Amino acid sequence: MIKHDVVIVGAGLAGLRAAIEARERGVDVAVLSKLHPVRSHSDQAQGGINASLGEDDSWEKHAFDTIKGSDYLADQDAVEVMCKDAPRAIIELEHWGVLFSRSENGRIAQRPFGGAGFPRTCFSADKTGHVLQTTIFEQAQKKGVQIYEEWFATSLVVEDNVCRGLTAIEIVTGEVHAVQAKAVILAAGGAGQIYSKTTNSLSTTGDGIAMAYNAGVPIEDMEFVQFHPTALYGSNILVSEGARGEGGYLVNAQNKRFMKKYAPDKMELAPRDIVSRAIETEIREGRGFANEYVHLDLRHLGEAKINERLPTIRELAIYFAGVDPAKEPIPIQPAQHYTMGGVPTDIDGAAPIKGLYAAGECACVSVHGANRLGGNSLLDTVVFGKRAGAKAAEYVKTASETGFPEMVIRDEQRRIDTLLNRKDSVKASEIKRALGTTMFDKVGIFRQQGDLERAKKNVAALKRQFENVSVIDSSRRFNTSLIETLEVGFELDLAEIIVACALARKESRGAHYRTDHPRRDDAKWLKHSLAIRTVKGPKLSYKPVTITRFQPEERGY
């Protein structure tokens, strides 16, 4: 059996930052990832990472923007921690080798971003995630962090409310392993693939959140799903908020900058929930192109600026949409982008089960509340990744050696064998396609009772179909069909939670917009949703929002 003090699931920014921290504190740490670390979804972040580095800026202003952006659902103690630590975190990354774009005086440059009262987004052209992920992986290697790459975690092992480790498939051989650990840190990312239209990579399937849910952790705020306003029409490939930060316009089929109507002050740089709804409204009311998309116009920025600041956007648009942004406007439409909810943690990454921690998109601290601001997710990963790594390391130093229930591995092996040998013809890929469409159409940017109820039925039906799912490919070696099947299982669990929480929350807040309850209702709903697994499906409860210095106000931009 494999044994480590701390095992981290996921090798993106949060996971590797946690690993570096735990390693520095002298504990035996290993990272397990279904992809090689450089393939992680963190790599795809484009626009940037926020910190109040400017002389006239302050962490308080950053915190206020974040909390207002969250529609007051963020826990303010956690936001304070993140915004106070942001400048240190950025400088640390710079010291480690991150190639930030610079201003003329050689300092780290900052660009304006949505919902921010200040240009406080640090960036590396439009490949910030790639540069951060590469650097943090380099430093993890330098520290000698052990990595089990292409290992797929299938379940957490919890006994007496203490986490004992996990089970995982070594993808290359297909072997099922027991991995014993005194502490597990979940840093496995979001769940974007539940939606048919998403900017997320095909691997972003919510594995970490679902594993925690299956282990009995109540999952927080899953109804808050961020839709990014600007995904390339057709392929749903992300077009960074940096494009609007650098001055890009959103234009409808009547050639009007329609954001004037929705956010007269901030225009294109209103928070993402507001811009996505504006675009969707324009399309629904017949002012889109082909009833499907609007235009993001960068032409006035000029070719030189586009090449300097948005080279990837230009390349992606030319390649995937056949449009050169220097010469033509880019066809865009909103697509799922970020999972605000996740495994509930305190400000040190600790989850409600002893020895279990979470960080990054798979966690819900909650710093993003009902709507995350652009540039805050990368920040979340490095700030809370470090904190989770520190806390887990501290915990394992005092935690006693615990047993690992051996029969767990037999059960897991049997479950996987059953999947591999079943001869039914229900395909996971077909379930996934149906799930994605249901979720995007009925649990999307605009929601209402009837649609949500239909979605609930559809998801339940798909869950029943999944009971007879067949992998079809029965080989052990590098069986990607098996992995995809297990992922779809996770997605179904999480979709069920999203629908249940969205049905229950009869108000509109941040990214959760109910056309039948269009107003925010602080009296009844200023609280976090929690969904716990029962045999009858998710059971909901609620917990209060932590408010320290910013009283909820009406949100205008």
Token duo for residue 464: 């029943």
Q: How far is the CB of 201 from other proteins (least distance, A)?
A: 4
Say if residues 4 and 181 touch (Cβ distance below 8 Å).
yes
**Choice between 387 and 528, CB closer to other proteins:** 387
Q: Is residue 481 part of the contact set for other proteins (CB under 8 A)? A: yes
**Choice between 487 and 507, CB closer to other proteins:** 487
Q: How many CB atoms lie within 10 A of CB 183?
A: 28
Query: In sequence order, which residues have a C-beta less than 8 Å from that of residue 346 and are 6 or more positions away?
Result: 365
User: How far is Cα 16 from Cα 116, in angstroms, rounded to an integer?
Assistant: 28
User: How far is Cα 328 from Cα 509, in angstroms, rounded to an integer?
Assistant: 35
Question: Among residues 50, 76, 366, 479, which is the contact residue for other proteins, using CB under 8 A?
Answer: 479
Question: Among residues 418, 429, 468, 541, which is the contact residue for other proteins, using CB under 8 A?
Answer: 429
User: How far is Cα 554 from Cα 557, in angstroms, rounded to an integer?
Assistant: 10
Q: Which part of the chain contacts other proteins (CB under 8 A), choosing from 122-130, 333-341, 367-375, 456-464?
A: 122-130
Quick note: the x/- pattern for other proteins over 497-526, rule CB under 8 A, is ------------------------------
Start-to-end Cα distance in the chain? 55
Question: Among residues 28, 60, 138, 324, which is the contact residue for other proteins, using CB under 8 A?
Answer: 138
Q: What single string gives the DSSP state of each residue in 261-293?
A: HH-TTTGGGS-HHHHHHHHHHHHHTT-SBTTTB
Question: Among residues 1, 141, 285, 524, which is the contact residue for other proteins, using CB under 8 A?
Answer: 141
Q: How far is the CB of 93 from other proteins (least distance, A)?
A: 9
**Choice between 287 and 476, CB closer to other proteins:** 476
Of 23, 111, 164, 272, catalytic: 272
Q: How far is the CB of 240 from other proteins (least distance, A)?
A: 12
Q: Which part of the chain contacts other proteins (CB under 8 A), choosing from 94-102, 372-380, 381-389, 507-515?
A: 94-102
User: Where are the alpha helices (H) located in 106-231, listed in sequence order?
Assistant: 128-142, 207-214
Q: Is residue 328 part of the contact set for other proteins (CB under 8 A)? A: no
Coil/strand/helix, residue 460: helix
Question: Among residues 1, 26, 107, 524, which is the contact residue for other proteins, using CB under 8 A?
Answer: 107
Interface residues for other proteins in 162-191 (CB under 8 A)?
A: 172
**Choice between 203 and 366, CB closer to other proteins:** 203
User: How far is Cα 123 from Cα 139, in angstroms, rounded to an integer?
Assistant: 19
Q: What single string gives the DSSP state of each residue in 293-346?
A: BEEEE-GGG-HHHHHHH-HHHHHHIIIIIS--TTTSPEEEEEEEEEE--BEE--
Quick note: the x/- pattern for other proteins over 26-55, rule CB under 8 A, is ---------xx-xxxx-xx-----------
Q: Is residue 65 part of the contact set for other proteins (CB under 8 A)? A: no
User: How far is Cα 73 from Cα 547, in angstroms, rounded to an integer?
Assistant: 9
Quick note: the x/- pattern for other proteins over 193-232, rule CB under 8 A, is --------xxx-----------------------------
User: How far is Cα 63 from Cα 51, in angstroms, rounded to an integer?
Assistant: 10
User: How far is Cα 19 from Cα 23, in angstroms, rounded to an integer?
Assistant: 6
Say if residues 71 and 528 touch (Cβ distance below 8 Å).
no
User: What angle (nearest 5°) sits at the alpha carbon of residue 351, between those of residues 349 and 352?
Assistant: 150
**Choice between 71 and 484, CB closer to other proteins:** 484
Active-site residue 272, yes or no? yes
**Choice between 267 and 472, CB closer to other proteins:** 472
Q: How far is the CB of 290 from other proteins (least distance, A)?
A: 13
Q: How far is the CB of 313 from other proteins (least distance, A)?
A: 11
Site size for other proteins (CB under 8 A): 63
User: How far is Cα 144 from Cα 160, in angstroms, rounded to an integer?
Assistant: 33
**Cross-strand bridge partners of residue 330:** 296
Q: What residues line the site for other proteins (CB under 8 A)?
A: 35-36, 38-41, 43-44, 87-88, 90-91, 94-97, 99-102, 104-108, 124-125, 127, 130-131, 134-135, 138-139, 141-142, 172, 201-203, 234-235, 237-238, 312, 315-316, 319-320, 322, 427, 429-430, 471-473, 475-481
Task: Enumerate the active-site residues.
Answer: 272
